[in-house]
Chains A and B, each alone.
Chain A
Amino acid sequence: MDRVRYLRFTVAAAVAVALAAAVCMSLMRSSGQGWRDHHPATASAMRAT
């Protein structure tokens, strides 16, 4: 069944993408390489807090 394949593929893809996004962005930010950590607007927002 093509539709069952769609379902399995989409569930697997959703798990992979969701985990990858969460882990990669966490790694990036924990290593201080997040764009916001260097962005002037972020820097000013951080100073404001």
Chain B
Amino acid sequence: MDPRKPSQATAAALGRILIYLAVIATPPVLAAILPQSRHGVHRFLPQLANNLALVGYTIVAFQFILAARLKWIERPFGLDMIFAFHKAMALLGVVFLLAHPLLMAWGENRWRLLSRWNVSWPIHAGRAALLCLVIAVLTSCFRKRIHLEYERWRAWHNVLVVGVLVLGLVHSLSMGDLRAGPMRLVWGGVFGAAMLAYGYHRFFSPYRGRRHPFEVVEVRRETHNVWTLKLRPMEARRSNRHLPGQFHFITLYRRGFPFEEHPFTISSGPAADGSLASTIKESGDFTRTIMKTAVGDRVAVRGPFGRFSHALHPDEDELVLIAGGVGITPLMSMLRSMRDTGDWKDVLLIYGNRTEEDIIFGQELRDMAGGPRSPLKVVHVLSHAEGAWQGERGHIDRDLILRHAGERLGAKAFYICGPPAMAGPLIASLGELGVPPRRIHTERFAL
């Protein structure tokens, strides 16, 4: 599939959606047609309880594949959408799996199954699997509200979800339809596929990143709290071709700091030697140490990912790029790509910051827009401008967009990257102004 061709990307997306739907629907169908050990429990409710458990477990197993960042799956959708889907399916899986014991108890009129302690060990395994699943989902939904650090949440999440899968397998193979017969093989396949994806994501991919590292070749200060790391592959043959606007995950191997993986936008354009740059704002525990990165430090790079790129929409000729603060980075990658390849579009960049000192890449943007026939126009907007500021003041809003990009809005493509408080209202305003949804591009990425 060539992701630059919209028709191929659509076909690829629909194909993957159909595969997913077929996979989650298959277990109950196979359970109905394959010979099994269990003598006929033909009442509807216990059957439904079993089938919901089959589908729920398959959904949970497929979560491992969705979370493994496989490019074949990610490419037509973008990783932000895959993660959003992963969250939605986790809720569906929980509902189906919680319904399983309730319907089973109801259908067999044995409500004490739910409360009695003196039950067989496979039932205890099932209860423990459900408990792990509920904790994993609740901590994912309310991580920020309960002030759980991302790295700690991630470590626990990885343990809990494996617990769900293993305990669920033990429970299902010891009970009911899966005690014997060819369904056991199917079930082993479901479990094996999930474990393979987990192994790839947690072990093989990081190992490959360490085996083929990049090195930091420059640490540059952009503003008082923004830094750019320039990375170059340590092997000449290692190339990481990215589309402008994409992001990658990097793990910095620095003495005295934990080796944590974090996502950052690639701010550089395409480079012949495979080098990449990420521009990073000091905003969290990890990014506040970014200036302590040294030239020569090794870096594992995973990616690139994402579909926030004008290169994926070659039919768009007039672009309006809207950035807030460090949200300029993917848009800068697009601008640098246009400049370096000479393949310019008609571009208006509206760039919001608090003060003049917060403007990132100010000089480079002036140089790009400086020529008399430059196709780039830059509008800076400051929310806390000082007295001498000649440009726009306030926030980027509907009126400001109408003032600068007002003509034929429906024919223009909008790329928005900034804090959700900025992007959300802008997307709504653009919709009200008649911009078709397919021409409003944004990346919904928040860990």
| Chains A and B form a bound pair | yes
Among B70-118, those with CB < 8 Å from A are 77-78, 81, 84-85, 88-89, 92, 96
Residues of A with C-beta under 8 A to B88: 7, 11
Evaluate contact between A46 and B40: CB separation under 8 angstroms: yes
CB 8 Å contact bits of B152-191 with A (1 = contact, 0 = none): 0000000000000000000000000000110000000000
Residue of B51, B52, B437 near A2 (CB, 8 A) is B437
Residues of A with C-beta under 8 A to B42: 29-32
Residues of B with C-beta under 8 A to A28: 32
Evaluate contact between A42 and B36: CB separation under 8 angstroms: yes
CB 8 Å contact bits of A8-47 with B (1 = contact, 0 = none): 0111011101101111011111111011110101101110
Given the complex of chains A and B, what is the CA–CA distance between A29 and B34 in angstroms?
A: 12
Given the complex of chains A and B, what is the CA–CA distance between A31 and B232 in angstroms?
A: 65
Q: A6-B13, A11-B88 known; 19 other A-B pairs, CB under 8 Å?
A: A1-B442, A5-B437, A10-B85, A14-B24, A17-B21, A17-B24, A18-B24, A18-B55, A22-B28, A23-B48, A25-B29, A25-B32, A30-B44, A32-B40, A36-B34, A42-B35, A48-B37, A49-B37, A49-B180
Residues of B with C-beta under 8 A to A5: 437
Evaluate contact between A21 and B44: CB separation under 8 angstroms: no
Q: How far is the CB of B381 from chain A (nearest CB, A)?
A: 24
Residues of A with C-beta under 8 A to B29: 21, 25
Interface size class of B (residues with CB under 8 A): 35 or more
Residues of A with C-beta under 8 A to B38: 49
Evaluate contact between B55 and A22: CB separation under 8 angstroms: yes
Tell yes or no: B237 within 8 A of A by CB: no
If A6-B13, A42-B36 touch, whether A1 touches B51 (CB-CB below 8 Å) is: no
Dominant secondary structure of chain B at its interface with chain A: helix
Residues of A with C-beta under 8 A to B137: none
Residues of B with C-beta under 8 A to A20: 25
Evaluate contact between A26 and B44: CB separation under 8 angstroms: yes
Tell yes or no: B20 within 8 A of A by CB: yes
Residues of A with C-beta under 8 A to B43: 30
Tell yes or no: B145 within 8 A of A by CB: no
Given the complex of chains A and B, what is the CA–CA distance between A14 and B34 in angstroms?
A: 24
Q: What are 21 pairs between A and B in contact, CB < 8 Å?
A: A1-B437, A3-B78, A4-B81, A7-B81, A13-B21, A17-B21, A18-B92, A18-B96, A21-B28, A22-B28, A22-B96, A23-B51, A26-B48, A30-B43, A34-B33, A36-B34, A37-B40, A41-B35, A42-B35, A44-B35, A46-B35
Chain B residue with the shortest CB-CB distance to A16: B21
If A7-B84, A30-B44 touch, whether A21 touches B31 (CB-CB below 8 Å) is: no
Given the complex of chains A and B, what is the CA–CA distance between A36 and B182 in angstroms?
A: 12
Given the complex of chains A and B, what is the CA–CA distance between A23 and B17 in angstroms?
A: 21
For the complex of A and B, 7 pairs with smallest distance between CB atoms: A21-B25, A42-B35, A22-B51, A26-B47, A30-B44, A25-B28, A26-B48
Evaluate contact between B47 and A29: CB separation under 8 angstroms: yes
Evaluate contact between A6 and B33: CB separation under 8 angstroms: no
Evaluate contact between A7 and B85: CB separation under 8 angstroms: yes
Given the complex of chains A and B, what is the CA–CA distance between A39 and B233 in angstroms?
A: 60
Q: How far is the CB of A48 from chain B (nearest CB, A)?
A: 8
Q: How far is the CB of A25 from chain B (nearest CB, A)?
A: 4
Chain A residue with the shortest CB-CB distance to B53: A22
Residues of B with C-beta under 8 A to A44: 35
Residues of B with C-beta under 8 A to A1: 427, 437-438, 440-442
Residues of B with C-beta under 8 A to A39: 33, 35
Residue of A17, A21, A22, A36 near B36 (CB, 8 A) is A36
Q: How far is the CB of B369 from chain A (nearest CB, A)?
A: 28
Given the complex of chains A and B, what is the CA–CA distance between A25 and B48 in angstroms?
A: 8
Q: How far is the CB of B304 from chain A (nearest CB, A)?
A: 17
Tell yes or no: B69 within 8 A of A by CB: no
If A18-B24, A34-B32 touch, whether A2 touches B438 (CB-CB below 8 Å) is: yes
Tell yes or no: B147 within 8 A of A by CB: no
Tell yes or no: B307 within 8 A of A by CB: yes
Q: How far is the CB of A5 from chain B (nearest CB, A)?
A: 7
Given the complex of chains A and B, what is the CA–CA distance between A20 and B55 in angstroms?
A: 11
Given the complex of chains A and B, what is the CA–CA distance between A18 and B29 in angstroms?
A: 11
Residue of B48, B52, B89 near A14 (CB, 8 A) is B89
Evaluate contact between A21 and B55: CB separation under 8 angstroms: yes
Evaluate contact between A26 and B20: CB separation under 8 angstroms: no
Q: How far is the CB of B337 from chain A (nearest CB, A)?
A: 21
Residue of B33, B48, B85, B427 near A11 (CB, 8 A) is B85
Residue of A3, A18, A29, A34 near B81 (CB, 8 A) is A3
Chain A residue with the shortest CB-CB distance to B51: A22
